[in-house]
Amino acid sequence: MPCVSGAHQSNGKRMESTRALLSLWVLTVLFFDSAQADEAPENISPKPELSHLQRAVLCSHSNTTFTNWSSEQRAALLSSVSRLAQCLHSQQLRDCDEVEPQKCPAADAPENGGVLCVALNNRRFCKPMCNHGFDFGFLRQSRLFDECSDKTEYRWDSQYVGGNTLALCIRASVTVSGAKSAYFPKEQDCLQTKANSTLSSALKEQFIRELEERGHQGELQRACLVCGLTR
């Protein structure tokens, strides 16, 4: 169920997100505890941190941590965590909403990939990208990005007939359809890249260089990355 922000949030939705947050808290606290147990005292941080949740995700400690839980408790937590994932995902998808020009529809982030967007002089350029192991559904070697601006009447000038869908990422053992820079590296898929500001800045700078090389220069208004679901 998608989450709704702020004033639009109904009580039910709010309760639901509270429940999801509670689960996150449970996970965080659990992993704060197990982190405390096997770390030297000087390494203990004063409050639960995202890193403890990330350790939970690695599942190495979770095997032992959750054995005491009943199957109902584990299912309830799993259910909350998956609702939380949907909630975070729908918020994550909106990270390009503010990109100029506002009249342009948002480019859809392909599943198993993402879309990197840059606004220059009121023209929006978006570059679809695929995660490692996925390839574009059709050849776009020479077509790195699509444009939406007054020139395109605020529509995507995509070759793909899907309107705001600029590309699809399809599972493939060899990736040949796109330019080299249109693929995320193996160990850094779209979300991992987005979560790391060093990596995402480098990605945005590379795209800005690619735009420059193709004659698109000007005042940088915004750059953003949204990631599609991973399946």
Ligand X SMILES: *[C@@H]1O[C@H](CO)[C@@H](O)[C@H](O)[C@H]1NC(C)=O
The residues of the shown chain that bind ligand X, judged by CB under 6 A, are: 68, 196, 198-199
18 versus 54: smaller Cβ distance to ligand X: 54
Q: Which is nearer to ligand X, 50 or 139 (CB)?
A: 50
What is the token pair recorded at 134?
Answer: 């996925």
DSSP category for residue 71: H
Is 70 or 173 the residue whose CB approaches ligand X more closely? 70
Phi, psi values for residue 83, rounded to 5°: -65, -40
| Residue 95, Cβ density class (10 Å: 0-12 exposed, 13-18 middle, ≥19 buried) | middle
- Please state the closest distance from residue 68 (CB atom) to ligand X, in A: 4
Query: Which residues lie below 8 Å from residue 7, measured CB to CB, with a gap of 6+?
Result: none
Q: Which CB atom, from 11 or from 68, has the smaller least distance to ligand X?
A: 68
Q: What is the DSSP string of 11-35?
A: HHHHHHHHHHHHHHHHHHHHHHHHH
User: Minimum CB separation from ligand X for residue 187, in Å?
Assistant: 8
Question: Please, what is the minimum distance in Å from the beta carbon of residue 191 to ligand X?
Answer: 12
Nearest-approach distance from CB 201 to ligand X, in angstroms: 10
